[in-house]
């Protein structure tokens, strides 16, 4: 439907009209077509060049043409502080939600955002938040930008047509898109849509280092697609009143609060741009999966698509991980994910199909296993994987993903009390037997270490 440039974190130049970009330099005295030069900085001016992100836009009118912002109600979108007094609490329990119901009334992408959990403070540019969205109405004469961080959007139901200042992105299920801090966007939909959003308050998403994997594999840089310049036709406002001229609603998420204003004409008026700070999309089916070909189930970090690096080397503020179709050929190995306790927190979602570690995890649902909370396969999965014939097997029954973070997430009390929360999730592990067989096997008795200690009079 749309054309794209490709190459992760590349320097692009694109123009919707011929010769709309200055032939050299960034802000000439007079720009081609009498456009206005405007820079958008995604990093501080003086960060190292290899990390510096900025884009020069050439617009029919600059972004300053808007009325003063006023604070508005954020609905189910909340960004802290993530405290008990503000409707959040921590929980060490295993948590799971069934799919968030599709909207029964008219909702846009912005009004349909619901915060599930978060930690940190966007005003200090630290931490992250996890949201879900449901929507069924396009944003008409309405746009948004996020001053607090980057959005990583994961559709589960319905295709999003994301119009941004820098061009269009079509984002169906099995794709993701990233909208960096400050980029103005609107979302058009047809019918009911549902999905997940990871918001990071500090830094930007990068490709993970490959280490001994080498120079290729996982998400390849060439498969990330960036928009080409496109702009709305500028409306003639001569003879109109100020109220008629300021006919667009602009929403700004700023410091954890929502603000709104009216602006003069469309914000999608960028005729040309160049730079390396831009929204992008990625097709998850192009992920080059790495797996064991001898024995053992590797750590899930081998499925990392994007990472937002933290302050400590090797520890992420957030990782985006998928569990794609893949061959399972490991010998003498329990092939599903093993039982686990993790210093990180794991929020999981299901894009389609079923998860290979347990039953009841539905597409459009979610789960949260926080720091050091035990989790793993249910007994039916464990028993089946322990007894099955270990022949080469292709898992092609679903696509799950994980937002993994080094922080303990505060959970919205609304999410904990939601009707679609599976309050019996913990019961999926009930019935796991103690199948331990000591030295005397099934006969029981004083077999094993306890029996040996009794014989030797060791211990109480």
pLDDT in tens, 67-79: 999 999 876 676 6
Buried-exposed string 76-92: b where 16+ CB fall within 10 A, e elsewhere:
bbbbbbbeeeebbeeee
Single out the residue of 376, 378, 351, 353 nearest to residue 366, CA to CA.
351
pLDDT at residue 231 tops 90: yes
Q: Is 419 one of the annotated binding-site residues?
A: no
What average pLDDT does the structure give for the chain? 91
Model pLDDT for residues 181-202, shown as the tens digit of each residue: 999 999 999 999 999 999 999 9
Single out the residue of 52, 17, 45, 10 nearest to residue 31, CA to CA.
17
The question of whether 297 is a catalytic residue gets the answer: yes
Position 280 scores a pLDDT of 98
Position 245 scores a pLDDT of 74
170 vs 313: which has the higher pLDDT: 170
Across 289-317, average pLDDT: 93
What is the DSSP annotation of 49-82?
A: GGG--EEEEEESS-TT-BPPPEEE--TT------
Residue 397 to residue 351: CA distance in whole angstroms? 11
Catalytic residue chosen out of the listed positions 297, 369, 393, 420: 297
What is residue 259's three-state secondary structure? strand
CA geometry: angle 153, 158, 163, nearest 5 deg: 55
Q: Cα 92 to the chain's mean position, in Å?
A: 23
Single out the residue of 204, 223, 351 nearest to residue 278, CA to CA.
204
Place of tokens 């994007």: 306
pLDDT at residue 178 tops 60: yes
Position 78 scores a pLDDT of 67
Helix (DSSP H) and strand (DSSP E) numbers for the chain: 4, 29
pLDDT band at residue 385 using 50, 70 and 90 as cut-offs:
very high
pLDDT at residue 452 tops 60: no
What is residue 230's three-state secondary structure? coil
pLDDT at residue 109 tops 80: yes
Residue 393 to residue 407: CA distance in whole angstroms? 35
Across 232-246, average pLDDT: 73
Model pLDDT for residues 348-383, shown as the tens digit of each residue: 999 999 888 888 899 999 999 999 999 999 999 999
Q: Is 355 one of the annotated binding-site residues?
A: yes
Position 111 scores a pLDDT of 94
Model pLDDT for residues 8-53, shown as the tens digit of each residue: 999 999 999 999 999 999 999 999 999 999 999 999 999 999 999 9
pTM value?
A: 0.93
Residue 160 to residue 133: CA distance in whole angstroms? 12
Position 458 scores a pLDDT of 35
């Amino acid at each position: 439907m749309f054309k794209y440039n490709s190459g992760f974190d590349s320097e692009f130049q694109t123009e919707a009209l011929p010769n709309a970009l200055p032939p050299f330099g960034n802000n000439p005295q007079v720009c081609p077509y009498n456009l206005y030069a405007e820079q958008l900085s995604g990093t501080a001016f003086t960060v190292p060049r290899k990390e510096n992100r900025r884009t020069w836009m050439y617009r029919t009118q600059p972004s300053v043409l808007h009325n003063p912002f006023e604070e508005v109600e954020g609905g189910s979108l909340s960004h802290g502080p993530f405290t008990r007094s503000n409707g959040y609490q921590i929980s060490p329990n295993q948590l799971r939600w069934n799919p968030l119901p599709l909207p029964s009334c008219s909702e846009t992408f912005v009004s349909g955002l619901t915060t599930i959990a978060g930690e940190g403070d966007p005003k200090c540019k630290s931490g992250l938040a996890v949201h879900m969205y449901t929507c069924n109405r396009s944003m008409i004469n309405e746009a948004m930008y996020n001053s607090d961080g980057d959005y990583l959007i994961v559709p589960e139901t319905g295709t999003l047509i994301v119009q941004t200042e820098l061009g269009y992105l079509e984002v169906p299920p099995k794709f993701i898109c990233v909208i960096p801090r400050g980029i103005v966007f609107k979302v058009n939909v047809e019918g009911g849509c549902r999905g997940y959003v990871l918001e990071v308050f500090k830094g930007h998403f990068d490709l993970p280092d490959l280490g001994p994997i080498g120079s290729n594999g996982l998400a390849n840089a060439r498969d990330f697609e960036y928009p080409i310049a496109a702009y709305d036709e500028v409306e003639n406002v001569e003879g109109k009143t100020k109220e008629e001229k300021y006919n667009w609603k602009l929403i700004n998420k700023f410091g954890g609060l929502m603000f709104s204003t009216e602006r003069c004409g469309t914000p999608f008026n960028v005729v040309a741009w160049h730079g390396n700070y831009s929204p992008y999309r990625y097709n998850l089916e192009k992920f080059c999966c790495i797996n064991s070909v001898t024995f053992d189930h590797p750590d899930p970090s081998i499925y990392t698509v994007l990472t937002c690096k933290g302050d400590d080397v090797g520890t992420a503020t957030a990782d985006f991980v998928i569990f794609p179709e893949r061959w399972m050929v490991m010998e003498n190995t329990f092939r599903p994910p093993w039982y686990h306790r993790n210093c990180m927190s794991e929020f999981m979602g299901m894009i389609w199909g079923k998860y290979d570690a347990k039953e009841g995890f539905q597409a459009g649902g979610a789960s949260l296993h926080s720091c050091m909370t035990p989790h793993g396969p249910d007994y039916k999965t464990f028993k089946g994987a322990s007894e099955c014939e270990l022949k080469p097997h292709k898992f092609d029954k679903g696509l799950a993903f994980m937002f993994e973070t080094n922080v303990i997430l505060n959970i919205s009390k609304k999410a904990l009390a939601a009707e679609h929360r599976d309050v019996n999730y913990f019961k999926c592990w009930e019935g796991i037997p103690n199948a331990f067989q000591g030295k005397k096997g099934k006969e029981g008795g004083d077999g094993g270490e306890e029996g040996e200690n009794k014989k030797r009079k060791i211990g109480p």
